[in-house]
């Protein structure tokens, strides 16, 4: 599905023009000499583009703050997926492949793994994880909603409702974006706006938003109230939860 290169909104395949800023979605007359290559999917974009029209990634270059400490401005090629990744990392931030050596599976000591889960950054064997869109994710974290290199943390019908969460993450140096959420099965705009963060920052982002009461761990089955803290009783209606 194409993305608007100006505002980053995603559209269905048949769309040609962004309804928000009237930008042409699929650029024409772009060449290797004049185009700006996306660091994630290598697609060529116009020099003035803010987002990749094909995958929606920011075109500001590789964000080295997304990588673990010690990363430098130089890049190397992952032996597993051939992605260009920051030099100094011990795993591929695109697929989870371990670049230095195998590690023991977190669930099965003595069983060696070549991959880290990109969400929790723990090593797992192939019985304890799987590849989702080419990215290694452990079984405990597979229920996140993955969109390319991103995870949808939460969604709301109004864009303004997600802005406080985006700003809270931005203040803590986590890159977050808000986009129209597209149902990839039914192929229609759901009317929901989604808050997305990079896969390898999702755990940190969740912790921040929960602390700020901008993301909730529990939902009352009786009144629908969202809350954090003790899940045994709803703080609004007093409903007790059985486990």
- pLDDT band for position 111 (cuts 50, 70, 90): very high
Q: How far apart (Å, rounded) are the C-alpha atoms in residues 214 and 195?
A: 12
Contact 133, 96 (CB under 8 A): no
Q: What is the pLDDT of residue 181?
A: 56
Q: How much is the average pLDDT of 210-215?
A: 90
Same domain, 224 and 241: yes
Please give the residue range of the domain that contains residue 99.
Answer: 81-143
Beta strands at 145-147 and 150-156: parallel, antiparallel or unpaired:
antiparallel
Could you say which of 143, 159, 194 is where a domain stops? 143
Residue 30 lies in a domain: yes
Query: What is the CATH classification number for the domain harbouring 198?
Result: 3.30.70
Total structural domains within the chain: 4
Q: How far apart (Å, rounded) are the C-alpha atoms in residues 155 and 178?
A: 9
Q: What is the pLDDT of residue 227?
A: 79
Same domain, 149 and 204: yes
Kindly report, residue by residue over 163-186, the tens digit of the pLDDT. Answer: 999 999 989 888 888 876 554 433
Same domain, 43 and 85: no
Q: What is the pLDDT of residue 136?
A: 96
Mark out the alpha helices in the chain (DSSP H runs): 159-171, 202-211
Same domain, 45 and 12: yes
Residue 37 lies in a domain: yes
Residue 113 has pLDDT above 60, yes or no: yes
Q: What is the pLDDT of residue 219?
A: 80
Same domain, 159 and 184: yes
Residue 145 tokens, joined: 């909603």
């Amino acid at each position: 599905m194409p993305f608007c290169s100006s505002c980053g909104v995603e559209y269905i395949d048949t769309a040609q023009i962004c309804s928000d800023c009237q930008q042409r979605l699929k650029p024409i007359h772009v060449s290797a000499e004049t185009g700006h290559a996306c660091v994630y999917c290598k697609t060529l974009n116009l020099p003035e583009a803010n987002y990749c029209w094909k995958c929606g990634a920011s075109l500001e270059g590789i964000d080295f703050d997304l990588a673990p400490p010690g990363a430098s401005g130089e890049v190397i090629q992952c032996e597993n997926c051939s992605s260009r990744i920051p030099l100094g990392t011990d795993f591929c931030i695109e697929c989870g492949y371990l670049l230095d050596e195998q590690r023991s599976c977190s669930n099965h000591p003595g069983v060696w793994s070549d991959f880290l889960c990109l969400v929790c950054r723990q090593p797992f064997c192939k019985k304890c994880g799987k590849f989702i869109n080419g990215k290694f994710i452990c079984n405990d974290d597979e229920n996140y909603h993955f969109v390319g290199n991103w995870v949808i943390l939460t969604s709301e019908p109004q864009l303004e409702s997600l802005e406080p969460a985006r700003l809270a993450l931005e203040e803590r140096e986590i890159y977050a974006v808000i986009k129209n959420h597209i149902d990839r099965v039914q192929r229609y705009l759901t009317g929901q706006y989604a808050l997305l963060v990079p896969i390898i920052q999702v755990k940190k982002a969740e912790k921040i938003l929960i602390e700020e009461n901008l993301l909730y761990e529990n939902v009352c089955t009786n009144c629908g109230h969202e809350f954090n803290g003790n899940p045994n009783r709803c703080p609004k209606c007093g409903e007790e939860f059985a486990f």
